[in-house]
Chain A
Amino acid sequence: SQQGEEDPQALSIQEGENATMNCSYKTSINNLQWYRQNSGRGLVHLILIRSNEREKHSGRLRVTLDTSKKSSSLLITASRAADTASYFCATNSGGYQKVTFGTGTKLQVIP
């Protein structure tokens, strides 16, 4: 079953703008990860945030985690056309054995 629900399902922005995607989940987690998938391709791991962390940065990416609300957000600043892809959150719980993916947000950055 889907652990994460993401919104929006689709997002279209102009190059240079910031993009924010949200993920909500249902059960307690060990960590939450964000992945990017270009159309028809495999997944690229972007960033991992542990349950005891609240915010993490990596380049133009900023991830927040609110375990009380069971939600996370991914912010991409100064977006580029190359950021066009689908973004998935994935939660890891119960001994790291498996990761459950959210429904994904399809981001389009218009040059």
Chain B
Amino acid sequence: GAVVSQHPSRVICKSGTSVKIECRSLDFQATTMFWYRQFPKQSLMLMATSNEGSKATYEQGVEKDKFLINHASLTLSTLTVTSAHPEDSSFYICSARAATAVRQETQYFGPGTRLLVL
């Protein structure tokens, strides 16, 4: 149980285009989803916290107009990188926290999406 999927797993795009990444909780409902970015050989940095039905909370230094987050349902959150540039190339990972109280402490991570902007 507690499986989180991401799609696509890998994407290459041209500079200036927008890319949408989906994060789905497959067998549980997630009231909260988190988006992280990981540069090579570095740790995960939290970008934003997404609560179902409300606006995402962005971490300091993360541009909300560039990284659009939509959490439309209890099983789906999307991250759109708008007008992507080469410096946005990174590994994007989402995680989801279950709505049930018992498992609320633990986040379940997706497999990640590798974005390469040319």
List chain A positions with a Cβ less than 8 A from chain B. Answer: 2, 30-31, 33, 35, 40-45, 48, 88, 92, 96-104
Contact = CB atoms under 8 A, between A and B. Distances in A.
B109 A45 contact: yes
B43 A42 contact: no
Contact of B111 (A33, A41, A96, A97): A41
Contact of B43 (A31, A33, A104): A104
B64 interface: no
25 contacts: A30-B105, A33-B106, A40-B114, A42-B110, A42-B111, A43-B44, A43-B93, A43-B109, A45-B107, A48-B106, A92-B105, A96-B105, A97-B32, A97-B49, A98-B49, A99-B34, A99-B46, A99-B95, A100-B46, A101-B36, A101-B44, A101-B45, A102-B43, A103-B43, A104-B43
B29 to A, nearest CB: 16
Contacts of A99: 34, 46, 95, 107
Given A43-B44, A45-B106, 7 more contacts: A43-B93, A45-B108, A48-B106, A98-B34, A99-B46, A100-B46, A103-B42
Interface residues of chain A: helix, strand, loop or mixed (majority): strand
A44 B112 CA distance: 12
Contacts of A101: 36, 43-46
Given A41-B111, A48-B106, A96-B104, A88 B43 contact: yes
A24 B60 CA distance: 23
A42 B46 contact: no
Contacts of A100: 46
A2 B43 contact: yes
B28 interface: no
Given A48-B106, A96-B105, A99-B107, A42 B44 contact: no
Contacts of A104: 43
Contacts of B114: 40
Interface in B21-47: 32, 34, 36, 42-46
Pick the 3 closest A-B CB pairs, nearest first. Answer: A42-B111, A43-B109, A101-B44
